[in-house]
């Protein structure tokens, strides 16, 4: 058995079918602190339950002490309270001025499309449709967000995002806003091609798009730089909207840029983040307009019923 560090406390559980050396008992609780050795045997269930209750009370006290006035108490393990204190100065303001209240921004990538299934590059093309599975993903997102208050929805106007938005927004009140700033990155000659065909047509440019997308260009345009600029515009537009909670439906590249601009990640970090079809990411933005990413690319709702964010 490895030696214990004298500054650590450990609770050792020994299964009954394991033969113990002389002098060692099951459920031995060993405590060493500043050279004073103490030992307790038979650490009871009652004391464990008392400890858990104390931890829960302490957690509730700390959470409530941190809450912003007029904000609801935590709703789920995925939303644990206010963050005005914990994120102050962690990031730059996304709107350049103070907000009247803290905001929650929920970002969702549209459901699976026919082109996703075929491994075709979509870009701004509006031909791909949502598949039946993509519709099911949207329904599951709607269910997962059903306990969350949302004031308005912002969506890309492209068909795949619009269809996803309509499914998720069923049964809710509030504005449903389609904005050009949430459209997917324009990808020129790549749009409509499978990845395999694009790699054959222009191996050099395709490799640049895959490995160094900030340098990819067509017709004098740099799609990644454009999508970064649009993401910044979208953040300002959404944070200026009335209400404290907003839902955003967009595309993979746009979602990546949305996250990167919030986290002050440069275009070279673009592919360090991913977003699945139907994936959910959540930001909390304090009154200074500074964002904190609390959850990224949540997908448990796609595999299990009864998951709520």
A 10 A CB-CB count for 52 gives 10
Is the distance from CB of 212 to CB of 204 less than 8 angstroms?
A: no
Q: Tokens standing for 223? A: 């799609």
Out of 32, 34, 110, 149, pick the active-site residue.
110
Active-site residue identified among 53, 135, 184, 251: 184
Q: What are phi and psi of 19, to 5 degrees?
A: -75, 130
As a whole number of angstroms, the distance between CA 284 and CA 262 comes to 11
CB atoms within 10 A of CB 207: 12
Q: Rounded CA gap, 187 and 130, in Å?
A: 20
Q: Could you tell me the CA-to-CA distances from 139 to 145, 286, 298, 306 in Å, in that order?
A: 10, 30, 15, 13
- The phi-psi region of residue 291 (left if phi > 0; otherwise alpha if psi is between -120 and 50; otherwise beta) is beta
Q: How far apart are CA 27 and CA 4, in angstroms?
A: 16
Q: Are 27 and 39 in contact (CB under 8 A)?
A: no
Place of tokens 């999508």: 227
**Alpha-carbon distance 81 to 56, whole Å?**
14
237 in catalytic set: no
Per the annotation, the verdict on 110 as an active-site residue is yes
Sheet containing 29-33: order of strands:
9-11, 29-33, 36-40
> CB neighbours (10 Å) of residue 45?
7
Known catalytic residues? 110, 184
């Amino acid at each position: 058995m490895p030696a214990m560090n004298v500054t650590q406390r450990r609770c050792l559980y020994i299964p009954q079918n394991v033969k113990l050396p002389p002098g060692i008992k099951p459920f031995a609780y060993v405590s060493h602190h500043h050279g004073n050795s103490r030992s307790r045997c038979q650490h009871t269930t009652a004391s464990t339950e008392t400890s858990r209750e104390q931890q829960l009370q302490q957690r509730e006290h700390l959470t409530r002490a941190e809450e912003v006035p007029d904000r609801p108490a935590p709703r789920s393990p995925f939303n644990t309270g206010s963050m005005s204190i914990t994120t102050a100065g962690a990031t730059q303001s996304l709107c350049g001025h103070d907000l009247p209240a803290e905001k929650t921004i929920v970002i969702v990538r549209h459901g699976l499309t026919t082109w996703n299934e075929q491994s075709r590059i979509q870009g701004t093309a509006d031909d791909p449709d949502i598949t039946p599975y993509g519709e099911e993903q949207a329904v599951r997102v709607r269910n997962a967000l059903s306990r969350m208050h949302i004031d308005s929805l912002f969506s890309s106007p492209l068909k795949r995002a619009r269809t996803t938005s309509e499914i998720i927004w069923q049964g809710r009140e509030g504005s449903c806003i389609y904005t050009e700033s949430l459209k997917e990155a324009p990808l020129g000659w790549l749009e409509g091609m499978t990845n395999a065909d694009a790699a054959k047509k222009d191996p050099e440019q395709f490799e640049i798009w895959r490995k160094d997308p900030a340098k990819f260009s067509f017709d004098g345009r740099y799609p990644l730089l454009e999508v970064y600029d649009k993401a910044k515009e979208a953040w300002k537009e959404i944070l200026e909207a009335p209400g404290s909670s907003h839902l955003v439906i967009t595309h993979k590249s746009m979602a990546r840029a949305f996250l990167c601009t919030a986290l002050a990640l440069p275009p070279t970090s673009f592919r360090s983040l991913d977003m699945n079809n139907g994936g959910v990411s959540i930001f909390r933005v304090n009154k200074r307009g500074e964002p904190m990413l609390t959850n990224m690319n949540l997908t448990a709702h796609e595999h299990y019923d009864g998951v709520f964010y």
